[in-house]
Structure 1
Amino acid sequence: MSLNIPNTLTWARILLIPVIVGAYYMPDSILPVVDKNLLATSVFIVAAVTDWFDGYLARRLGQTSAFGAFLDPVADKLMVAAALIMLVQLGRVDAIVAVIIIGREITISALREWMARVGASASVAVAFIGKLKTAAQMTAIPLLLYNAPLLSVDTRPAGLVLIYVAAALTLWSMGYYLRKALPLLQERETR
């Protein structure tokens, strides 16, 4: 495991997850709900920015590594899953949305691992639909964590629309990746 700047940022993103979750476990007398929302939102946004930044730096500095390629998506999935579970607990997101998004992440991660093992990882490389899904999620989650008006826009309804869009894109992208892998799955099944 190489500890370079991009991998350090990825580890930092993982270490920020307990801050997002822990904010909501602080007593209201120490941290009022409004401040909990602001803290969780701010930390989530910082973590999301490090996600973009660590990939950029890895390419720019020539510090890409197999470990970094493994750890980066794991950090993303942990961060999104933790935030979604908190949002379900807070009553801001329906559990079915969280199940769809988290279930897809587990399914596609397992599919990618299997495809890499059989030497066909290019078949399930990140596609535009996956990037669109991620953009919708990474915009919806902070809006739902913030849960208050911002520049005269009520963030909760906007976040809810986006999280349902993200859930639909999640299903669509899962179907896309499974269709891409289906020929190899069928080929392996007939052996």
Structure 2
Amino acid sequence: MPFNLPILLTWLRIVAIPLLIAVYYLPAAWATPLERDLFATVLFMAAGFTDWADGYLARRWNQTSAFGAFLDPVADKLMVAAALIVLVQLGRTDAIIAMIIIGREITISALREWMAKIGASKSVAVSMLGKVKTAAQMVAIPMLLYYQPLWGMDMAQLGGGLIWVAALLTLWSMGYYLRMAWPEIARRSAEK
């Protein structure tokens, strides 16, 4: 397993996951609800920054690796899943939203793995739609973690609306990837 700064940043993102959850289990005397929300928001945003930074540095310093390419999306998906579960527990988003987003990530990850195994991974390469979906959820989740008004804006309402947009984009992007893979799926099914 290679070890370099980009991989360290990815590991830090994974280490942040239990911290994000644990902050909501701190004794009431240790942190106010606002302090918990602020810490969770900053932690999630820092994790998002490391996601950008590890990819940028790996490419810039020519430190890309198969292990890094595997670990990076796993860390991303685990962080988003953990945040969504926390938000459901806090009553700040619906379980259906979490199920759509997490279910899509599992489905598309499995599809990509299968398509790579059969040599057709280009059919399900990351699309612009997938990037827009990711951007929507990466803005909505910190808003919902913070949940308090900020600079005159209602973060709860904005985040709540944006997470629904993210869920719709999630379904749309899943349909897109499945449609791109369908010819290969149909061909393989017909061979059996």
TM-score interval (norm. to shorter): over 0.9
**Runs of 4+ displaced beyond 3 Å:** none
Letter in 2 for 1:82: A
Q: 1:41 corresponds to which residue? A: 41
**Please, which moves more after superposition, 23-32 or 173-182?**
23-32
Q: 1:50 corresponds to which residue? A: 50
> Deviations 1:54-112 (Å, cap 9, x if unpaired)?
00001000001111111000000000000000000000000000000000000000000
Q: 1:134 corresponds to which residue? A: 134
- After superposition, where does 1:105-144 map in structure 2 within 5 Å? 105-144=105-144
Where does structure 1 lack aligned partners over 5 or more consecutive residues?
A: none
Shift in Å at residue 145 of structure 1?
Answer: 0.2
Please state whether the residue corresponding to 2:25 is helix, strand or coil.
coil
Letter in 1 for 2:143: L
Shift in Å at residue 24 of structure 1?
Answer: 0.4
The CA distance in 2 between the partners of 1:28 and 1:127, in whole Å, is 44
The CA distance in 2 between the partners of 1:102 and 1:32, in whole Å, is 29
**Aligned pairs, how many?**
191
The CA distance in 1 between the partners of 2:135 and 2:97, in whole Å, is 16
Please state whether the residue corresponding to 1:91 is helix, strand or coil.
coil
Shift in Å at residue 154 of structure 1?
Answer: 1.1
Shift in Å at residue 27 of structure 1?
Answer: 1.4
The CA distance in 1 between the partners of 2:65 and 2:76, in whole Å, is 17
RMSD of the alignment, in Å?
A: 0.5
The CA distance in 2 between the partners of 1:122 and 1:10, in whole Å, is 24
The CA distance in 2 between the partners of 1:5 and 1:116, in whole Å, is 27
The CA distance in 2 between the partners of 1:65 and 1:187, in whole Å, is 32
Q: 1:85 corresponds to which residue? A: 85
Question: Scaled by the length of structure 1, what TM-score is found?
Answer: 0.99
> Deviations 1:100-130 (Å, cap 9, x if unpaired)?
0000000000000000000011110000000
Shift in Å at residue 168 of structure 1?
Answer: 0.2
- After superposition, where does 1:1-191 map in structure 2 within 5 Å? 1-191=1-191
Q: Percent identity?
A: 64
The CA distance in 1 between the partners of 2:92 and 2:144, in whole Å, is 7
Question: Scaled by the length of structure 2, what TM-score is found?
Answer: 0.99
Where does structure 2 lack aligned partners over 5 or more consecutive residues?
A: none
Please state whether the residue corresponding to 1:64 is helix, strand or coil.
coil
The CA distance in 2 between the partners of 1:151 and 1:55, in whole Å, is 32
The CA distance in 2 between the partners of 1:123 and 1:70, in whole Å, is 18
The CA distance in 2 between the partners of 1:168 and 1:3, in whole Å, is 37
